[in-house]
Amino acid sequence: MPHGKICYLEIPANVAQDSADFYRDVFGCTIEVTGDSDEFRYAQIMAGGEGVAGIMDASHWLPEGTPAHWSVYFAVESADATVAKAIEHGGALVDGPEDTPYGRLATLTDSTGARFKLVQNNR
């Protein structure tokens, strides 16, 4: 995946099923459940057989009343180097970088406070 390309979108939601139903009903998306345990409830919005966005049940950590919102992930060659460069240019680290089954992830804000995520996937 090219460095800097938006590679994934995700909705953390207190009522994830409502979000899934909305996108299925409005856009005709196929929703595929990929995690259905108390620890990890997750579904993907599918397009052309590929997961293009995720819907995460965030009810365990998202404060009650917080509206669902989109998160954007940018593909990067090196999460650590990109974090350092973002900080150098006025951004701030929120979380990570950390290794996950999906790649090395980090959450940052840009110089205006807008939140975004990085993913380094060396597959």
Are residues 104 and 53 part of one domain? no
Which of 48, 69, 90 is the last residue in one of the domains? 69
In degrees and rounded to multiples of 5, residue 26 shows phi and psi of -80, -45
pLDDT of residue 4: 87
111: domain CATH number? 3.10.180.10
Are residues 81 and 58 part of one domain? no
Secondary structure letter of residue 107 according to DSSP = E
Are residues 19 and 45 part of one domain? yes
Residues of the chain whose pLDDT is less than 70? 123
Are residues 96 and 60 part of one domain? no
pTM listed for this prediction: 0.84
Are residues 54 and 96 part of one domain? no
